[in-house]
Chain A
Amino acid sequence: MKALSIRGLRKSFGGLRVTNNLNLDVAVGERRLIIGPNGAGKTTLFNQITGEITPDSGSMMLMGVDMTDVPSRHRPHMGLARTYQIITLFPRDTLLRNVTLSLLGLKRTRWNPFTRLEALDQIIEKATEALDMVGLSDMAHRPLSETSYGERRRVEIAMALAQRPKVLLLDEPYAGLSIDERAGIKSLISSIPRNVSIVMIEHDMDVALDFADRISLVYFGEVIVEGTRAEVVSHPRTKEVYLGE
């Protein structure tokens, strides 16, 4: 069983083919890096995996379960979590509230109109733990708007991990971070246990290269090179794509 298995994915917008017969297999526990020039269709790929965009054709399986026709709001319940290039959290809410919302998303109690949210001790406790794991529990009651970008990225990852996903998609997690912040995020990501399979899109190859078990190079909506770091770096097509630009 693969953590993520994509076959023959195709998507066009008008006349523009953004995903072109894309195939991808990610093993359970693997760390996969997706690279490729701008506009290659990497984020669009993520958007189709999470279901925000419906592919024209092809199939997707998550932990052996077909999710091609599953509505996007159900996929987190299947074990899929994601972070975004641009951080879109809840700036007027505290860090604790942000993480709590994430935990609630998978629970029945999100429909409850009666009980005070703050009184749901179990959830509040778990949220505090999640913040603790990313080293932000002392800021639990600070509004998100009063935190730095690096701290917000950590909150976002905490929120994703709080849902105990099986597959985590990280979309350019290092974008917009300072050198120190990058080091922090890097160590955070490498501390994620291996029962979570991770697929990361990243531009900055230096930072990401020692993260990956395998790398997939996406160009014009399809995977043209795939393999270990050494294999990809030395592949002629890789040089073509990156130097030919």
Chain B
Amino acid sequence: MNSRTIAISVALVALMSLPYWVDGTYYVNVASQILFMAIFALGLNVIAGYGGLVSLGHAGLFGLAAYTTSYMLQIGYGHSASIVGGLFVGLGSMAIFAMLSLRATGIGFIMITLALGQIIWGLAYRWISITNGDNGISIHGRPAPFGIEIGSAESFYYATLLIFVVSFVAVLVFVNSPLGAALKGTRDQPRRMTALGYNVWMTRFLGCLFSGLLTAISGILYVYYQQFISPQAVDLTASAEVLLMVIAGGAGTLFGPIVGAALVVIVKSVVSGYIERWNMLLGAIFVFIVIFMPDGLVPGIGRIFRKFSVRKRNNQPQTLAVEGRQK
């Protein structure tokens, strides 16, 4: 039982008992938000952190899944069909996104994903007959998986927690797998990987699909949480926020996106009570982190821990590698 296992067990226990030790529904809701945003951030991290493909259009994919589910519910489909529809559209659009964006590398990828994300925002805003434009789509109720109602804040929290744990384990497994190693390789030395016999494009594409799946899941959770979707959830600010979660926490690490999500959600909730200028603060935090703390929090804290445990000269192969910066 090493310290990491203990830490994770403690965290799990804390998470599972959360509604009992936080004071009120508001905080349970914040916790739910953190969890599905963490899934979103984990999804982006798969390609941005582990694949070296920074996307500034991920909110578009998030939104496509959310809007699909909402629209299907609105026109009368049941929850199961709407969820499947959302996942399907989310994954399908990610495939299209990837096929276009992977035509370029590095900076080009960012530009194309940004443009694509904004095009989706434009659709959400203008295609009023389907999306209801700025007024958004409201939905009512939540699914009842296996007959269990998740309408209340606590029950929704547990459903989200379950999905979060499954998603986290999926990412853990992926990152430690051969495909995950290949993806990291394409981030660090794409040319060398081709010379070693890897199909760099396909590796990246598969990484994108996995990312798209997680993104779609988070989008659908969002819509069931909010009971509402509007173009605001799909704009450039939203894409920047999720990217900030990944970077602030530590890109290319397992826990970074989770820490980042918690940070951004909490700061946003706290701050919006006091000042109206969230965007300005978001921008300032972005600039600060990129210039002064590009590795993010998790690696930084990891370094501090290692300093205190000098005895444990542990030469473990790093699977939680530090942020892969774009060349």
Query: Are A and B direct contacts in the complex by CB distance below 8 Å?
Result: yes
- Are B196 and A102 interface neighbours, CB within 8 A? yes
Q: Say yes or no: is A29 at the interface (Cβ < 8 Å to chain B).
A: no
Q: Which of A149-196 contact B (CB under 8 A)?
A: 159, 163
Asked, given contacts A120-B178, A142-B315, A143-B318, whether A88 binds B200 with beta carbons under 8 Å apart, the answer is no
Interface string of B161-192 (1 = CB under 8 A from A): 00000000000011011111110010011011
Query: Taking the nearest CB of chain A, how far is it from the CB of B156, in angstroms?
Result: 30
Q: Which of B181-226 contact A (CB under 8 A)?
A: 181-182, 185, 188-189, 191-200, 206, 210
Query: Taking the nearest CB of chain A, how far is it from the CB of B237, in angstroms?
Result: 32
The stretch from A13-21, A32-40, A69-77, A227-235 touching chain B is A69-77
Query: Taking the nearest CB of chain B, how far is it from the CB of A140, in angstroms?
Result: 9
Q: Say yes or no: is B321 at the interface (Cβ < 8 Å to chain A).
A: yes
Query: Taking the nearest CB of chain A, how far is it from the CB of B168, in angstroms?
Result: 15
Chain B minimum-CB-distance residue to A112: B178
Bound-state CA distance A82–B173 (Å) is: 32
- Are B198 and A110 interface neighbours, CB within 8 A? yes
Interface string of A49-78 (1 = CB under 8 A from B): 010100000000000000000001110110
Bound-state CA distance A81–B210 (Å) is: 31
Question: Interface size class for chain A?
Answer: 35 or more
Q: Say yes or no: is A93 at the interface (Cβ < 8 Å to chain B).
A: yes
Question: Which residues on B sit within 8 Å (CB–CB) of A133?
Answer: none
Q: Say yes or no: is A131 at the interface (Cβ < 8 Å to chain B).
A: no
Asked, given contacts A104-B182, A105-B197, A110-B198, whether A115 binds B177 with beta carbons under 8 Å apart, the answer is yes
Query: Taking the nearest CB of chain B, how far is it from the CB of A78, in angstroms?
Result: 10
Chain A minimum-CB-distance residue to B252: A92
- Are A141 and B191 interface neighbours, CB within 8 A? no
Bound-state CA distance A84–B194 (Å) is: 13
Chain A minimum-CB-distance residue to B318: A92
Query: Taking the nearest CB of chain A, how far is it from the CB of B306, in angstroms?
Result: 14
Asked, given contacts A73-B197, A141-B315, A163-B197, whether A97 binds B192 with beta carbons under 8 Å apart, the answer is no
Question: Which residues on B sit within 8 Å (CB–CB) of A90?
Answer: 185, 188-189
Q: Say yes or no: is A208 at the interface (Cβ < 8 Å to chain B).
A: no
Q: Say yes or no: is B322 at the interface (Cβ < 8 Å to chain A).
A: yes
- Are A105 and B317 interface neighbours, CB within 8 A? no
- Are B181 and A117 interface neighbours, CB within 8 A? yes
Asked, given contacts A88-B191, A89-B189, A90-B185, whether A113 binds B180 with beta carbons under 8 Å apart, the answer is yes
Q: Say yes or no: is A101 at the interface (Cβ < 8 Å to chain B).
A: yes
Question: Which residues on B sit within 8 Å (CB–CB) of A89?
Answer: 189, 192
Chain B minimum-CB-distance residue to A146: B315
- Are A114 and B181 interface neighbours, CB within 8 A? no
Bound-state CA distance A143–B197 (Å) is: 23
Interface string of B285-327 (1 = CB under 8 A from A): 0000000000000000000000000000001111001100000
Question: Which residues on B sit within 8 Å (CB–CB) of A143?
Answer: 318
Kindly identify which residue among B178, B191, B192, B316 contacts A104, using a CB–CB cutoff of 8 Å.
B178
Asked, given contacts A73-B200, A142-B315, whether A115 binds B178 with beta carbons under 8 Å apart, the answer is yes
Asked, given contacts A77-B197, A90-B185, A105-B197, whether A112 binds B179 with beta carbons under 8 Å apart, the answer is yes
- Are B176 and A118 interface neighbours, CB within 8 A? yes
Query: Taking the nearest CB of chain B, how far is it from the CB of A110, in angstroms?
Result: 5
Bound-state CA distance A35–B164 (Å) is: 59
- Are B317 and A93 interface neighbours, CB within 8 A? yes
Kindly identify which residue among A88, A96, A100, A112 contacts B177, using a CB–CB cutoff of 8 Å.
A112
Kindly identify which residue among B191, B196, B200, B210 contacts A163, using a CB–CB cutoff of 8 Å.
B196
Question: Which residues on B sit within 8 Å (CB–CB) of A74?
Answer: 197
Question: Which residues on B sit within 8 Å (CB–CB) of A73?
Answer: 194, 197-200
- Are B177 and A113 interface neighbours, CB within 8 A? yes
Chain B minimum-CB-distance residue to A113: B179
- Are A113 and B173 interface neighbours, CB within 8 A? yes
Question: Which residues on B sit within 8 Å (CB–CB) of A111?
Answer: 178-179, 182, 206
Bound-state CA distance A28–B274 (Å) is: 76
Query: Taking the nearest CB of chain B, how far is it from the CB of A155, in angstroms?
Result: 12
Question: Which residues on A sit within 8 Å (CB–CB) of B192?
Answer: 84, 88-89
5 further interface pairs, Cβ-Cβ under 8 Å (given A89-B189, A91-B188, A105-B197): A90-B185, A113-B210, A117-B178, A117-B181, A118-B176
Ordered by A's residue number, 11 sampled pairs between the chains whose C-beta atoms are within 8 Å are A52-B195, A90-B185, A90-B189, A93-B321, A109-B178, A113-B173, A113-B177, A114-B173, A115-B178, A117-B180, A142-B315
Spell out A's residues near B (CB within 8 Å): 50, 52, 72-74, 76-77, 81-82, 84, 88-94, 96-97, 100-102, 104-106, 109-118, 120, 141-143, 159, 163
